[in-house]
Amino acid sequence: MNFGSDNIAGASEPIIAALAAAAREGAEGTYGSDRWTTDAVGQLRDVFETDLDVLLVPTGTAANALSLASVTPPWGGIFCHAAAHVIDEEAGAPEFFTGGAKLVGIAGRAGKLEPGGLRETLTRFPRGLPRQVQGSALSLSQATECGTAYSPSEIGALTELARGAGLAVHMDGARFANALVGLGCSAAETTWKAGIDVLSFGATKNGALACEAVIFFDRNHARYAEIQRKRSGHTLSKGRLLGAQLAAYLQDGHWLDLARSANELAERLARGLGDLPGFHLPFPRQANEVFAIMTRSVAQALHDAGAHFYEWDASSLGPGEIGPDQLLARLVCSYATTAAEVERFLAETRRVARAVASSPQ
C-alpha cells in the first residue's frame, strides 16, 4: 500500500528486456548516435505527428532546466504556477542552467494557471524595462502538481497570451502520458498544436528507470541545446542506455498502456475515497494522482496500518477549505500499482473511518 510516489517503482518488463539486450550488443555509436536513440526519435516523430528535435537526458530536473535554458537568457523571467515543480522543488536548477533567471510564481486554482493571472504578471514585467528581468518563458505542468490536466483549449488561451508577449512556452510533462490518457486527446493536440515550443517528455515516472526527452517543436530553440546538455554533464557516452529505454517505452503504445493502468487505479481510489464520509477530494482526478482532505487522526491511523502517502502543501486550497485538524494527502498510483493494493487500502480506509466515527469524541 505504497502511494508515496510513482518513482518508488522499478521498470516495466519490456523496458528491462530492451535495456539488457542493448547492453549486450557490441560496438555502437556514442553520445547519442546509437541506433536505439535513432529509433526512439523516429517513434517520437510519429507520436507527435511532426518533425522535431530531441535530446535524451536521465532526469526530469535536467529535462526541465535544459528546456528552460534553451529559451531563457540569464536576465530572463520564467512565469509558472506558484506550486510548479520547477520553482521550488528542483533546488534552483532552472536558475543554474539559465545563469540566474528569475522564476515568477502565479497563483491558480487546482494547480492550473488561468489567463487572468498570467495577464497580471505580464503587466508587472513590461518588456524592455532595463531594471527588471525580461519575460522569456511560460512553463506549464501537464499533468499539474494537483493531478489535474489542461485541455488543449486551456493551453491555447495561455500560449496565445504568452506569444503575444514574446514568451516561448515550455511544458513540464513529467507525467505527460498520464495527462494524455486522462484527456483522451492526441499528443499533438496538447502540445505544438496548442502552442507549446519545448516539452519535457517524461518516461521515468511511468515505467522507465531514468529517461526523459527534451522535445523541441520549435527547432530554432534546439540550436545550442546539444552543447548545453554536454556542458551540464547530461550527454551519456553510452547513449544506448537512454535510447533503449525510450524506444521500448514508445513501442506499440506501451507507454499509454502503462499510464492507463495507473490512471484507472487512481480513479478507483478516487471513487472509493469520495464515497466515504469525512473525505473530500478538492481537485478533479485527471491523471494518476488523488488528493484527499482527511482528518489528521484518520491519516495517522492509515499510516499505522501500513499505508504510505505524503501530506501535501495545502496552499493550493481556497481559504476555509481545510480545517485545522485536517490535512491534504497526495496518493499516487504508478504503472506498477495493483488493483489488490488499491482494494486493500480502501478496505483499510473504510475500517479506519468507521472506527474514528464510532469513537467517543
Q: Contacts with its own copies in 219-278 (CB under 8 A)?
A: 224, 226-238, 240-241
**Interface with its own copies (CB under 8 A), residue from 44, 54, 56, 65:** 65
Binding-site member from 42, 46, 49, 89 for its own copies (CB under 8 A): 89
> Of 167-206, which residues contact its own copies (CB under 8 A)?
204-205
Q: Where are the beta strands (DSSP E) in the chain?
A: 53-57, 76-81, 102-106, 134-141, 168-173, 198-202, 212-216, 289-295, 310-311, 326-332
Q: How far, in whole angstroms, is CA 248 from its chain's centroid?
A: 20
Residue with Cβ nearer its own copies (24 or 153): 24
Report which of 14, 34, 7 is spatially closest to residue 241, judged by C-alpha positions.
34
Selection from 108, 183, 179, 96 nearest residue 138 by Cα:
108
Residue 23 binds its own copies, judged by CB under 8 A: yes
Pick the closer one to its own copies by CB: 100 or 156. Answer: 100
Shortest distance (Å) from residue 348 CB to its own copies: 17
CB 206 within 8 A of CB 39: no
**Pick from 133, 199, 258, 270: which binds its own copies (CB under 8 A)?**
133
Of 54-62, 150-158, 262-270, 322-330, the window that binds its own copies (rule: CB under 8 A) is 54-62
Applying CB under 8 A, the span of 97-105, 179-187, 277-285, 292-300 interacting with its own copies comes to: 97-105
CA angle, 218 as apex, 187 and 242 as ends, to 5°?
65
Among 35, 38, 50, 88, interactor with its own copies by CB under 8 A = 88
Q: Which is nearer to its own copies, 160 or 341 (CB)?
A: 341
* Range in contact with its own copies (rule: CB under 8 A) among 100-108, 175-183, 263-271, 288-296: 100-108
Contact of 99 with 72, CB cutoff 8 Å: no
C-beta atoms surrounding 101 within 10 Å: 23
- Of 302-321, which residues contact its own copies (CB under 8 A)? 308
Nearer to its own copies among residue 22 and residue 353 (C-beta): 22
The piece of 131-139, 162-170, 183-191, 278-286 that touches its own copies (CB under 8 A) is 131-139
Residues 6+ apart with CB under 8 A from 41: 54
Is the four-CA dihedral 345, 347, 352, 353 of positive or negative sign? positive
Cross-strand pairs, 295: 326
For position 101 contacting its own copies by CB under 8 A, the verdict is: yes
Query: Residue holding cell 495507473?
Result: 262
Would you count residue 288 as binding its own copies (CB under 8 A)?
no
Q: How far is CA 189 from CA 155, 168, 317, in A?
A: 10, 17, 29
Q: Report in angstroms how near the CB of residue 212 gets to its own copies at its nearest.
A: 10
CB atoms within 10 A of CB 231: 12
Nearest approach, Cβ of residue 170 and its own copies (Å): 15
